[in-house]
Amino acid sequence: MKTPTDTTLILPALARRRFLQQGATLSATAVALLGGCPALAAGSGDGQAAGDVRILNTALAAEQEAIAAYQLGADSGLLSASIRSVALQFQGHHKEHAELLASTVEKLGGQPAAARAHYDFPTAGLKAEADVLRFAAGLERGAVSAYLGAVPLFANRELAKAAASILGDEAMHWAVLRQVLGEVAVPTAFVS
């Protein structure tokens, strides 16, 4: 029987913790790079800006939903201290995304989408830490797919590049959450 001091139990836990810390650092770096991206400050001078504003507002609404979801997870009492810390860090990334998207909508002459007063999350199914992590992973995977679909729709190609940068951050979140759940972090070679 293995005891808690057995290295076959301790080393995998340390490796998971190290991976989680490194994954979170990568996400922060991706967001920092995006924050310096002039594409989000540049407006489109042509009539296609309205289409870009609609796409940006759709992304903004999804980011606001993610912010609320991570708050739900953080407040659930189901997360360990280290996982809660990472959840709040990921929430911070979504807040940064939302701020940049909202300011870009304004610079393009649009009105940023407002956060909803209430989100219909599946709270009845959240009974353990793993449930919260699966829920968050599902939202992150959905965000990856949504940004993947949005990138080619932008008239302003610089906005498309900026959205692709956010997509990368969402993919890192998804991979980290899968890894923490004990799943293969990157399950396929392509995301659809």
Neighbours of 63 (CB within 10 A): 25
Model-level pTM?
0.76
Residue 85 lies in a domain: yes
**The pLDDT of residue 41:** 42
- What is the dihedral angle through the alpha carbons of 24, 28, 34, 35, rounded to the nearest 10 degrees? 160
Residue 2 lies in a domain: no
Residue 129 lies in a domain: yes
Residue 173 lies in a domain: yes
Structural domain including 115 reads 10-180
Residue 169 lies in a domain: yes
- What is the dihedral angle through the alpha carbons of 124, 116, 72, 167, rounded to the nearest 10 degrees? 110
pLDDT tens per residue across span 85-141: 999 999 999 999 999 999 999 999 999 999 999 999 999 999 999 999 999 999 999
Residue 187, judged by CB atoms within 10 A of its CB (0-12, 13-18, 19+), counts as: exposed
| Dist. CA 32–CA 30, nearest whole Å | 5
Residue 189 lies in a domain: no
CATH label of the domain that carries residue 24: 1.20.1260.10
Structural domain total, the chain: 1
Mean of the per-residue pLDDT values for the chain?
82
Residue 188 lies in a domain: no
Residue 161 lies in a domain: yes
Counting as low any pLDDT under 70, the low residues of the chain are 1-47
| Dist. CA 69–CA 63, nearest whole Å | 10
